[in-house]
Amino acid sequence: MAMPLVEMRGVSKRYGGVQALDGAELALWPGEIHALVGDNAAGKSTLIKVLSGAVPADAAEILFEGQRVEIREPRDAKRLGIETVYQDLALADNLDVPANIFLGRELSRGGVGRLLLDLRRMDAEARGLLERLRIRVPSLRRPVATLSGGQRQSVAIARCMYFNARVVILDEPTASLGVAETAQVHELVRDMRLHDLAVLMISHNLNHVLGVSDRITVMKAGCTVGSRVARETTQEEILRMILTGRADREPAETVTR
């Protein structure tokens, strides 16, 4: 594309006496995994909440495919194809995989004077979706509470992708996962490139960020410090940007991998 899929410019948000965002900027391109990093209170969570419609910005210019859009609530974001997987995953533990994928957006069929849930179609659609995404679960019929952390995260991501997502926001997707489960989720995130999605991922683990992302944006004190192409930077440079809030580069030989 000649332009980013999403551009956020001059994003500001204040909570009482706290300036959570102060002119923050972000650009997302289709087919890329974009990591958002920074210390606690850097503004990362607030920025993704603005993009997802969870909180309205006090000031912002948001462009989607080059056109200015207003995102004031979650349905505005969903209408554009922006889906979010938060840390709590928002899964119903007592329900099975198909029921969670279609939670709140269930498929129905006509009955005699009423609409009925189309359980057979939801099962078939869920099975096909998991096969396309190479997500393996022991059984579609098991309550998601019985699945591993990596499998639960994968189900939450699959739910986003079924509904024609263009942008998927992942809030600390591997924060509570073990090594094997983290690798499983990272494999799924990489596969999302094949669907031409823009993936925005918050993470505190710089090793994970450098291993899975294409670009990295650093935030500090509600501002955007700068962005780097992952393969052209180092953990040391990203850490220096996080700590100092400055984007000036060291000599080239110190930042090549």
Any domain includes 135: yes
Asked whether residue 94 falls in the same domain as residue 179, the answer is yes
pLDDT over 50 at 252, yes or no: no
Asked if 112 and 63 sit in the same domain, the reply is: no
What rounded mean pLDDT belongs to the chain? 89
pLDDT of residue 195: 82
- Among 35-44, 112-121, 153-162, 207-216, the minimum mean pLDDT is found in 112-121
For 202, other C-beta atoms within 10 Å of its C-beta total: 23
Largest CA distance in the chain: 73
**By mean pLDDT, which of 19-28, 71-80, 180-189, 212-221 is the weakest?**
180-189
Report yes or no on 209 lying in a domain: no
188 and 123 in a common domain: yes
Contacts of 165 (CB under 8 A, 6+ apart): 81, 82, 83, 197
At residue 198 the predicted structure's pLDDT band, cuts being 50, 70 and 90, is very high
pLDDT of residue 257: 34
Q: Count other Cβ atoms within 10 Å, centred on residue 12.
A: 16
Quick check: is 183 in a domain? Answer: yes
Looking at the fold, whether 103 and 179 belong to one and the same domain comes out as yes
Per the domain annotation, does 152 fall within a domain? yes
Lookup: tokens for 210: 């450098």
Q: Look at residue 155 and tell me if it is in a domain.
A: yes
Type of residue found at 96: D
Which tens digit of pLDDT belongs to each residue from 42-77? 999 999 999 999 999 999 999 999 999 999 999 999
Is there a single domain that holds both residue 101 and residue 66? no
Would you say residue 193 has pLDDT above 90? no
Whether 111 and 65 share a structural domain: no
Per DSSP, helices labelled H in 26-86 are: 44-52, 74-80
Domain that holds residue 146: 89-160+174-193
Task: Identify the pLDDT of residue 3.
Answer: 84
233 found inside a domain = no
Is 218 a member of any domain? no
| Total of domains in the chain | 2
Residues in the chain: 257
18/98 same-domain check: no
C-alpha span between 253 and 257 (Å, rounded)? 9
